[in-house]
Amino acid sequence: MTHVSAMADIPSAQRARPSRSPSAIFLRRVLTSWQGAFGVTVLVVIATLGLLAPWISPYSPLDINPDAFMEPPSAAHWFGTDEIGRDVLSRVLYGASVSLEVVVLAVGIALAAGSLLGLISGWLGGAWDALIMRIMDAFLAFPLLVLALAIVAVLGPDLMNAMLAIAITKTPGFARLVRSEVLAMREIDYIKAAESVGVSNLRILLRHVWPNVSGNVIVYGSLSASQALITESALSFLGLGVQPPTPSWGYMVATGIQFYQSWWMSFFPGLAIFITVLAFNFLGDAVRDALDARLGGRRE
Q: Which of 170, 147, 148, 174 is nearest to 161 (CA)?
A: 148
One-letter amino acid at 10 equals: I
Question: What share of the chain in percent tops pLDDT 90?
Answer: 30
Q: Which of 147, 137, 127, 218 is nearest to 178 (CA)?
A: 218
Return phi, psi of residue 81, to 5°: -125, 165
Return phi, psi of residue 87, to 5°: -70, 125
Confidence of residue 1 (pLDDT cuts 50, 70, 90): very low
Identify the pLDDT of residue 89.
92
Selected residue with higher pLDDT from 286 and 6:
286
Is the predicted pLDDT of residue 91 greater than 90, yes or no? yes
Q: Burial of 135 by CB count in 10 Å (0-12 exposed, 13-18 middle, 19+ buried)? A: middle
Q: pTM (2 decimals)? A: 0.80
Ramachandran region of residue 130, left (φ > 0), alpha (ψ -120 to 50) or beta? alpha
The tens digit of pLDDT for each residue in 94-133 reads 999 888 888 889 999 999 999 999 999 988 888 898 999 9
- CA–CA gap between residue 236 and residue 243 (Å, rounded): 8
The tens digit of pLDDT for each residue in 254-299 reads 888 888 888 999 899 999 999 998 998 898 888 888 877 444 444 4
Q: Burial of 292 by CB count in 10 Å (0-12 exposed, 13-18 middle, 19+ buried)? A: middle
Identify the pLDDT of residue 203.
85
Q: Which of 222, 213, 208, 207 is nearest to 117 (CA)?
A: 213
Identify the pLDDT of residue 106.
92
Find which of 19-23, 38-42, 294-298 is predicted with most confidence, using mean pLDDT.
38-42
Identify the pLDDT of residue 112.
93
Question: What share of the chain in percent tops pLDDT 70?
Answer: 90
Beta-carbon contacts of residue 283 (< 8 Å; ≥ 6 apart): 30, 35, 36, 39, 40, 43, 222
Instruction: Write down the mean pLDDT value for the chain.
Output: 83
Q: Please compute, for residue 77, the number of CA atoms within 13 A of its CA located in the half-sphere on the CB side.
A: 27
Q: What is the DSSP-derived secondary structure letter of residue 81?
A: B
Identify the pLDDT of residue 4.
46
How many CB atoms within 10 Å of residue 297?
A: 8
The tens digit of pLDDT for each residue in 162-189 reads 899 999 999 999 999 999 999 888 888 8
Identify the pLDDT of residue 118.
92
CA angle 160, 109, 34 (to 5 degrees): 105
CB 232 within 8 Å of CB 40: no
CATH number for 45-299: choose from 1.10.10.10, 3.40.50.300, 3.40.50.150, 1.10.3720.10.
1.10.3720.10
